[in-house]
Structure formats: C-alpha cells, structure tokens
Amino acid sequence: MSIKEKLENDLKNKEISDLSIVEKYICFGVPIIFKNNEERYYELLQDLRNHFTLNSMRNIIIVGSSKLGFSIAPGKRFKDISDDSDIDVAIIDEELFDTYWEKLFEFNIKLKSRSNQEELNYRRFLEYFFKGWLRPDLFPFNYKGKNEWFDYFSNISYKKYDKRKVTAAIFKN
C-alpha cells in the first residue's frame, strides 16, 4: 500500500487523531525526495539550523509534496510531486518568530505610508501572523530582512538539494 493510500485510510479512520496523523506523516521520517540520500537531508537541516542559529534541527520540518511525494494543500490535494515542486520548509521556533516579529514591528512603526498593494500584503501578512505563521513573501516590499531572507534561500536553491527551489516560513509553535 502506498503512502497516499495509507494516509487516505488513516484520514477516514475516526479512531486516529489528527495529531497522530500529523506526527506520522509530516513530522516523522525522511522526506521522499531524500529517501535515497539521507546525508543530503541532514546537510539541508544543518544549513538551516546554522543560518538561523537554531538550538535544534528537530524544529525544521520538510512539508508538502517533497515530504510525502504528493501535496496535501487544499486545491492540490493528492497531486503527485513534479520536477518543479519546491522543498517547503516549516521552521518552528518561538525565539526566531519573535525576533522577526520585533524587527517587522519596528519597521512598521517607522513606515510613513503604504501603496495599495503594500496595504493588501500587510493585511494578508497579519492574517497569517495571528495564526502564528510568518510568511516572508508577505514581508513589506522595502523591508531589508525580506531581501536577506530571499537572498539566503536563493543561494541554497537549485544546487545540492535535489536541484529544487527551497522555501520556508516561520511558525511560532
């Protein structure tokens, strides 16, 4: 039975909690794209941990189709991984979240005005922020930390990590 079939069965099973499903399919195990090269997976986690000065690699989780071999996102549910699928990373770290939030707060305090597009992005940013999720793609356009974020991920993308784009978001917990 494939992972996809097992997940579908577990989702239908009322005796299995949502938490158990998340732990089993998202948090546990080596991502499908690294199943034949666990050393490369370790290197990615190590790179991310060092860059963000995290205490542990355990707070770095590969999610999405690169993890399972298929997407679980609404609108793409059970769509198989493709050659152009990203490596989506969830960094779950309260201290890192708070550090970025403080910098963004200071930036926004000093901001004099926003364009209509910037205001729309800011409102979308806040929707995610209140869920404990920082999405760098929604950081203000001229926020220096946004460029630093994307420069770092641009430098590690398409190289040794299965020649894929690497993206990430920060979660408070």
Predicted confidence (pLDDT) at residue 30 exceeds the cutoff of 80 = yes
Q: Are 54 and 91 in contact (CB under 8 A)?
A: yes
Residue whose tokens read 């000065």:
53
DSSP run (H or E) holding 110: helix 94-110
Q: Are 83 and 158 in contact (CB under 8 A)?
A: no
The model scores a pTM over 0.85? yes
- Give CA–CA dist 51/38, Å, rounded: 20
Q: Categorize the per-residue pLDDT at 116 as very low, low, confident or very high, splitting at 50, 70 and 90.
A: confident
Measured CA to CA in angstroms, residue 157 lies from 54, 87, 142, 162, 165 at distances of: 20, 9, 23, 9, 4
Based on DSSP, count helices (H) and strands (E) in the chain, helices before strands: 7, 4
* Residue range 61-78: mean pLDDT, rounded: 91
Q: Categorize the per-residue pLDDT at 170 as very low, low, confident or very high, splitting at 50, 70 and 90.
A: very high
Digit-coded pLDDT (tens) for 84-114:
999 999 999 999 999 999 998 888 777 777 7
Predicted confidence (pLDDT) at residue 171 exceeds the cutoff of 80 = yes
Task: Break the chain down into helix, strand, coil percent, rounded to 5.
Answer: 55, 10, 35
CA 108 to chain centre: 24
